[in-house]
Structure 1
Amino acid sequence: MLFIVPTPIGNLKDITLRALDALKEVDAVFCEDTRRTLNLMNHFGLSKKLFRYNEHDERSVAGAMAWLRSGKSAALVTDGGSPCISDPGRRLVALARSTGIKVTALPGPSAVIAAAAGSGLPCDSFVFLGFLPRSRGKIVKALKAAFELKKTVILFESPYRLKKFLAMAREEFGPGLTALVAREISKIYEEWTGGLIDETIARIEAAGEVKGEIVLLLRPPEAAEEEADDEPGGPGDLP
């Protein structure tokens, strides 16, 4: 049996009781980085066999599958957040399911969901792009396709590329673009910076060097206009 176990993205108190139970009960833990997972296990007084799982290494995937086929259980974890969401794990889950191995996915910490909930932007539905390609042409193509849906767009970006990305987005999509930067979610220096993109760029530039993990939320002006046209009120709405 394979458990998909989300782990804290910053604050260790965010781990769930079910996650701790799974980590206690399994025969081994498949990790993105055994050192990071060992620190987590030690913090909660847990001791298990830890194996590094590399999605791009055929021997690693085969070894994980051999373990599961032998009837032993395992928890799949990454350095933070939910496995398989812009993190390793998809191939292993697909292979396990295709061979009849039971897979259980636990809910838990997610930078994407935390950013959506804390943004104040419409997120009844949204588009998640993960990490975008490096080339400008591919980035613009992906964003244009997403913006056509007139939804809030959520993506991950490196702190080292954030300023360059925002400048590119301003140049390509204009001053009507809303941009919100969620930095270090759930950590000591958690910070939210946002507004129309010129305002966001000015605040980011004034802050100096950008550090930490970044979730970026974008909303095209067409989506804001459509939202403004929606008629308020309806059954069950507050007066």
Structure 2
Amino acid sequence: MSGTLMLCGAPIGDVRDASPRLGEVLAQADIVAAEDTRRLRRLTAALGVTISGRVVSCFDANESSRADFLLSRLRAGATVALITDAGMPAVSDPGFRVVAAAAMAGVAVTVVPGPSAVTAALAVSGLPTDRWVFEGFLPRRTGERRSRLAELAGERRTLVILEAPHRLPATLDDLTAAFGADRAAVVCRELTKTWEEIVRDDLGALAAWAHGREVRGEITLVVAGRPATSPHAAAEPGTPAAAALAVVLAAEVAAREAGGTPRKAAITAAAAEHGVPRRVVYDAVLAAKARGDGG
């Protein structure tokens, strides 16, 4: 009888986010395959857990050979816990080859859910979350990255992108060029960690922000999708349609603020929802304030 491969979601920063079940699985598994065995030891020490099984490494460079070994142990009935440094194995982290091999062999594969930078960033972004797409890491080479962004420029779903801090300024420049400076976006840095930072603005402003500082840590970008063509987006300034839209936009921002959303985030969300630049929403809010409608 074959064993079970258990994919273990690790905390993305704050170790207190680890579930009690994660500690139980790591303590009881016959084999724990870790992206970094030293980080695994630090995690289990923080959790007060003692690993009883064998610990082996499983990272990008050795995953192919390690998959063969782990599959042989799974076929022999072992319980194997697979864990990466943070987040979920196989999601922009090592583990895909192991999971694919186990699935192909008919071995049971299950999951111990845990924190995810992808869904955490999406949730706090204030951008539409009903439809979204995970792009992962963009190509490192400039030409390839720009080509990929050109392909994504028409994507209407919210985009979630991972990026290294040293490439963030160049990536934001390329996003601005491909999507337009007015496209709403959010930079999420070091989520759940001591120096967590969430910056909401349009791409042009975020690019300027990134060039003005040394950015460190894990970066997740959330970018609004391309707005659908609509009467709202096409409303000419000074027309009755534009005036009507301004009233709608101001009311929506006011409603979001009443629900606890900060004004800047409410403006960003309304811009993304209606497919207009942030400055149009901002002007609508100012006009409503001048009329005494609120704000």
Query: Alpha-carbon deviations, 1:101-156, whole Å to 9, x = none?
Result: 11111221100000000000001121111111112332233333334231111111
Residues 96 and 102 in structure 1, CA contact (< 8 A), matched pair in contact too: yes
The amino acid of 1:62's aligned partner reads D
Structure 1 unmatched runs, 5+: 230-239
1:154 alignment partner in structure 2: 160
- Which of 175, 189, 195 in structure 1 is aligned with 2:195? 189
1:22 alignment partner in structure 2: 25
- Which of 101, 114, 123 in structure 1 is aligned with 2:120? 114
Query: Alpha-carbon deviations, 1:82-111, whole Å to 9, x = none?
Result: 111001111111111221211111221100
Q: How many angstroms does 1:25 deviate by?
A: 2.1
The amino acid of 1:5's aligned partner reads C
1:42 and 2:45 equivalent? yes
1:219 and 2:224 equivalent? yes
Task: Tell me the secondary structure at the aligned position of residue 91 of structure 1.
Answer: helix
Aligned mates of 2:78, 2:145 — CA distance in 1 = 42
- In the TM superposition, 1:1-80 aligns within 5 A as 1-48=4-51, 49-57=54-62, 58-80=64-86
Q: Which has the larger radius of gyration?
A: 2
Aligned mates of 2:78, 2:227 — CA distance in 1 = 52
- Shift in alpha-carbon separation, 1:223–1:50, aligned structure 2, 3 A: farther
Once the two structures are overlaid, the 10-residue window that deviates more, 110-119 or 188-197, is 188-197
Q: How many angstroms does 1:41 deviate by?
A: 1.2
Identical-residue share of aligned pairs (%): 36
1:203 alignment partner in structure 2: 209
Aligned mates of 2:211, 2:202 — CA distance in 1 = 14
Aligned mates of 2:146, 2:134 — CA distance in 1 = 15
Residues 161 and 222 in structure 2, CA contact (< 8 A), matched pair in contact too: yes
The amino acid of 2:273's aligned partner reads E
1:236 alignment partner in structure 2: none
Once the two structures are overlaid, the 10-residue window that deviates more, 83-92 or 52-61, is 52-61
Query: Alpha-carbon deviations, 1:179-217, whole Å to 9, x = none?
Result: 2110000001100112111222233334x2110000011
1:131 and 2:134 equivalent? no
Aligned mates of 2:218, 2:175 — CA distance in 1 = 19
- Shift in alpha-carbon separation, 1:32–1:68, aligned structure 2, 3 A: same
Structure 2 unmatched runs, 5+: 234-271, 276-295
1:172 alignment partner in structure 2: 178
The amino acid of 1:163's aligned partner reads P
2:111 alignment partner in structure 1: 105
- Shift in alpha-carbon separation, 1:116–1:126, aligned structure 2, 3 A: same
2:98 alignment partner in structure 1: 92
Structure with higher RCO (Cα < 8 A, 6+ apart): 1
Q: Which has the higher helix share?
A: 2
The amino acid of 1:82's aligned partner reads M
Q: How many angstroms does 1:42 deviate by?
A: 1.5
1:145 alignment partner in structure 2: 151
The amino acid of 1:148's aligned partner reads G
- Shift in alpha-carbon separation, 1:142–1:158, aligned structure 2, 3 A: same
- Shift in alpha-carbon separation, 1:158–1:164, aligned structure 2, 3 A: same
The amino acid of 2:34's aligned partner reads C
Q: How many angstroms does 1:56 deviate by?
A: 4.4
**RMSD in angstroms over aligned alpha carbons?**
1.9
